[in-house]
Structure 1
Amino acid sequence: MAQTRRSLFLKRRMRNRNKIKKLGKGRARLSVHRSSKNISVQLIDDTNGVTLAAASSMEKALGVVGKNNIDASTKVGAAIAERAKKAGVEECYFDRGGFIYHGKIKALADAAREGGLKF
């Protein structure tokens, strides 16, 4: 049976998310979403079901509105690290979803690490 690109993506996403759930509930989850035009990230507390902080390339303050490149990912990663510090979060799990850890996703993760987040 031939699988579609979407079904393979969903399979990767659930495999990644289940690994994070097995690790425990002590930390927040840094969830990344990448579309064709933008990139966004949320810091989620799964025990309470609350978003603690968020950042997106759609924010005018970051100066990368409508861009989805490595530069935009770096700025979004730095912004989420700063907002996580304000929310009192230092450690989290990195949830890349079904996206491959390469390019834009890697740039976002590296910028968040440089900003002080540990995952």
Structure 2
Amino acid sequence: MAININHRRNLAQRKASQMRRQKRVRKHIFGYPERPRLVVTRSARHMFAQVIDDVAGRTLASASTMETELRGMSGDKTAKAEKVGELIGQRAKEAGISQVVFDRAGNQYHGRVAAVADGARKAGLGL
């Protein structure tokens, strides 16, 4: 079986491009204790969200589609992403957080990333 070298190169270039975008966004975003950072990470199949206090270097709340209650959920990936947003909003509220800084981590604010933000807003989290 022949390995397509261009395919690997394209994957490496895409990853490098995302890392550049992520660094560019992170230059302007920092999570303080009174307004921590809501980081959204997306893979091909799952969505992950964390509320991070950058001063202390601690994760205050987290949610993902890999949790048991969301794994069994039917529907498309966008609906699951919105549910992740609602979960992270509820957990942040329980931790005493009402305002966050949204960090899209180099992803476009579109589709599943926007759905997480909408779900967090539905739960009462200010972005």
Would you say same fold, with TM above 0.5?
yes
Query: What amino acid maps onto 2:104 in structure 1?
Result: R
CA distance in 2, matches of 1:64, 1:102: 25
Residue 114 and residue 62 in structure 1: after superposition, are their counterparts in 2 closer, same or farther (change >3 A)? same
Q: How many residues align?
A: 114
Residue 86 of structure 1 is aligned with which of 81, 87, 94? Answer: 94
Larger radius of gyration: 2
Residue 6 of structure 1 corresponds to which residue in structure 2?
15
Residue 70 and residue 6 in structure 1: after superposition, are their counterparts in 2 closer, same or farther (change >3 A)? same
* Aligned-residue CA RMSD (Å): 1.9
Q: Deviations over 1:1-49 (max 9, x none)?
A: xx9212211111011111113xx73420001111112111000011111
Contact 1:37 1:68 in 2 (8 A): no
Residue 123 of structure 2 corresponds to which residue in structure 1?
115
Residue 63 of structure 1, CA deviation: 4.2
Query: What amino acid maps onto 2:13 in structure 1?
Result: T
- Counterpart secondary structure, 1:106: helix
Identity of aligned residues (%): 42
Q: Runs in 1 of length 4+ with deviation above 2 angstroms? A: 62-65
CA distance in 2, matches of 1:36, 1:60: 18
Residue 48 of structure 1 corresponds to which residue in structure 2?
56
Residue 36 of structure 1 is aligned with which of 25, 36, 44? Answer: 44
**1:100 and 2:117 aligned:** no
Query: What amino acid maps onto 1:15 in structure 2?
Result: R
Q: What TM-score do the two structures reach when normalised by structure 2?
A: 0.82
Q: What TM-score do the two structures reach when normalised by structure 1?
A: 0.88
Query: What amino acid maps onto 1:4 in structure 2?
Result: Q
Please, which runs of 5 or more residues in structure 1 have no aligned partner?
A: none
CA distance in 2, matches of 1:50, 1:68: 31
Residue 68 and residue 16 in structure 1: after superposition, are their counterparts in 2 closer, same or farther (change >3 A)? farther
Please, which runs of 5 or more residues in structure 2 have no aligned partner?
A: 1-11
Residue 77 of structure 2 is aligned with which of 66, 69, 75? Answer: 69
